[in-house]
């Protein structure tokens, strides 16, 4: 079983919500659609489910073209953002609901409901109605209802968005565990990168209806394909500095950072493809910056604006007069707001983005 999307496009009037998306989700694979709100991720999911029909392009489920079929004829399972539990039914009835259409016997339905309630620990609340449940319980019921059947694929729309932080962490693990047992392609829509990074086998980052990058969570984080992905993935956000290449020698290059300072750092060897004078954007993650007391060539001088202790680490907001830089350091490093410090870019951690916002990197 696989999900294949070919040139999938959705237009609402003049607005193109999803623009020619190509995507494949393999059997047993968990793919997260990640992006800011309004990027078309939910619409993409709904097109897979059949709740929206594509304006152009095709959806293949298990190799079959289902583009023109209604949702009920696609045999998909989906969990909704607001859980969509049927308010008049008990939890047990909610769980059993998708089975009514399958022509199963009453005992068979009971067996399946029991199995799911065991898996998700719903035993104690089977006779309650949704109105009497806590948010986390609702979530588990919604998940339970979507996995009770054996569909061609599983779809989750913002499964954890309504939970508080603690519950979210708990459920994340729980869902991941459940998903591992399902040998079906799964698509999860989320705007929360932590959710995507922890649960997904692969992440598809979307912006304005287009997929910007599809890759493993590690690669999406470590090897962002372009400026958008680099900026979107990772907390605190990657520092982005506009600069001009002044000279390069192999992987070693010198940049004039707008604002006046220069820096000499080790970057990807493809920097040699650029001629001096080219405008670039330098990207470096907060954890790849280091405070040093002495000026170094691979650093710039900065002022400490704000110090935010985060427990084990401390987030420091720095300014070079032109850019705001975020730096994460060990909590033990003594820092005072207003201090003038030197900030080093750790070697080999700086990403170069050219004027077309694409990364300059050896594949």
**What is the contact surface with other proteins in residues (CB under 8 A)?**
12, 49-56, 67-68, 70-72, 75-78, 80-82, 84, 86-89, 97-98, 100-102, 129, 145
Q: Could you please report the per-residue DSSP string of 4-65?
A: EEEEEEEEETTEEEEEEEEEEE-TT-EEEEE-STTSSHHHHHHHHHTSS--SEEEEEETTEE
The 279-284 sheet, strands edge to edge: 262-266, 252-257, 239-249, 279-284, 351-353
Q: Percent helix, strand, coil in the chain (nearest 5)?
A: 30, 35, 35
The 153-157 sheet, strands edge to edge: 76-79, 153-157, 186-190, 30-34, 202-207, 210-215
Decide whether 132 or 358 has the Cβ nearer to other proteins. Answer: 132
Q: Give the shortest CB-51-to-other proteins separation in angstroms.
A: 5
Decide whether 18 or 289 has the Cβ nearer to other proteins. Answer: 18
**Angle made by CA atoms 306, 310, 313, in degrees to the nearest 5:** 95
Q: Which residue shows structure tokens 């694409």?
A: 358
Residues 18, 19, 20, 23, CA torsion sign: negative
Decide whether 89 or 307 has the Cβ nearer to other proteins. Answer: 89
DSSP symbol at 91? H
Token representation of residue 341: 């410090």
- What does the chain come to in residues? 363
State the Cα–Cα distance between residues 79 and 156, nearest whole angstrom.
5
State the Cα–Cα distance between residues 67 and 58, nearest whole angstrom.
5
């Amino acid at each position: 079983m696989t999900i294949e999307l070919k040139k999938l496009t959705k237009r609402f009037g003049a607005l193109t919500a999803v623009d020619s998306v190509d995507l494949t989700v393999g059997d047993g694979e968990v793919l997260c659609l990640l992006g800011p709100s309004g990027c078309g991720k939910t619409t993409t999911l709904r097109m897979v489910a059949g709740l929206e029909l594509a304006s152009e392009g095709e959806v293949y489920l298990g190799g079959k073209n289902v583009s023109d079929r209604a949702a009920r004829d696609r045999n998909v399972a989906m969990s909704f953002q607001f859980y969509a539990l049927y308010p008049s039914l008990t939890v047990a009835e909610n769980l059993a609901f998708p089975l009514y259409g399958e022509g199963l016997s009453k005992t068979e339905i009971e067996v399946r409901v029991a199995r799911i309630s065991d898996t998700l620990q719903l035993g104690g609340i089977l006779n309650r109605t949704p109105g009497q449940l806590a948010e986390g319980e609702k979530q588990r019921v919604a998940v339970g209802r979507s996995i009770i059947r054996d569909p061609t694929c599983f779809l989750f729309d913002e499964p954890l968005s309504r939970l508080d932080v603690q519950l979210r962490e708990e459920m994340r693990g729980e869902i991941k565990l459940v998903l591992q047992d399902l040998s079906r392609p799964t698509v999860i829509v989320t705007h929360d990168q932590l959710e995507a990074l922890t649960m997904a086998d692969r992440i598809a980052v979307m912006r304005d209806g287009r997929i910007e990058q599809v890759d493993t969570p590690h690669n999406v984080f470590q090897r962002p394909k372009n400026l958008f992905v680099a900026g979107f993935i990772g907390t605190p956000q990657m520092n982005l500095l506009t600069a001009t290449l002044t000279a390069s020698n192999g992987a070693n290059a010198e940049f004039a950072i707008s604002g006046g300072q220069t820096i000499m750092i080790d970057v990807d060897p493809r920097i040699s493809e650029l001629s001096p004078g080219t405008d670039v954007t330098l990207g470096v993650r907060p954890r790849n910056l280091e405070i040093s007391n002495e000026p170094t060539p691979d650093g710039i001088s900065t002022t400490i604006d704000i110090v935010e202790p985060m427990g084990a680490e401390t987030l420091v907001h720095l300014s070079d007069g032109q850019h705001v830089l975020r730096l994460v350091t060990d909590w033990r490093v003594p820092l005072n707001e207003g201090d003038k410090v030197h900030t080093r870019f750790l070697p080999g951690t700086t990403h170069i983005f050219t004027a077309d916002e694409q990364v300059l990197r050896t594949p």
